[in-house]
Amino acid sequence: MRTILKSLSCLTFILFLPDGAYSQNLNATLQNADIIFQTSSSNQSNAIMWASKSLYSHVGLIEKSGDKTYVIEAISKVSRTPIEIWIARGRLDRYAVYRHENLSPAAQSEIMAAAKSLLGRKYDILFTSDNLEIYCSELVAIAYQKSNIALGSFQKVSELDVDNFLVKKLVRARWKKHPVCKHSKTFEDCWPKILEDKLITPIGLTTDQKLKLFFSNYP
């Protein structure tokens, strides 16, 4: 337990270094279908950061609408949130924006239409691959997939750093609702099945070589 907390403290230390601010100049350069990441302040954020070894624990899609900018995101449900509110909800207003190279206006429109078609869909607290409910990085991957762009990389749960207190505490609180655990009577029986399921993490999206960092106020 001490090792986990020490390592997590090292991972999050850089959040407390001087940051940059969101500005109208940056807002003017953002485009539809840009992908924005942050360090969420949610209860599950630490487990996501630990498992994926990244400060990115939440992600959404930029939507430009006139002079307004929104983030389409999966939270309690897939929602459309003004960007200033979205940024302020994260830890210390940290965020990073990535852009897919050579994305045509038509592709941008397809991606945004796909994302908005999911508005109202419930959040997937189990991070399953059935797409009936949606978690944040899955929303981004699905929206791009609708434009025939396979973004990032899905991984088996077993490929992440999940054999630790933080992650197992989160899964233990939720495992009974996991579809692969229908016939499991105990967590120990279900855990190997969960390890075989696939998901995509926020940092997993950035493994795509065509996705380039556009802006970041992380140190």
- Taking only the tens place, the pLDDT of each residue in 43-93 is 899 999 999 999 999 999 999 998 899 999 999 999 999 999 999 999 999
| Burial of 169 per CB tally in 10 Å (0-12, 13-18, 19+) | exposed
Report whether 198 contacts 129 (CB < 8 A): yes
Domain locations in the chain? Answer: 20-216
- Taking only the tens place, the pLDDT of each residue in 101-151 is 989 999 999 999 999 999 999 999 999 987 689 999 999 999 999 999 999
- Of the options 3.50.50.60, 3.40.50.300, 3.90.1720.10, 2.60.40.10, the CATH number for the domain spanning 20-216: 3.90.1720.10
Residue 52: which residues within 8 A CB-CB, separation 6 or more? 160, 161, 201, 202, 203, 204
pTM: 0.90
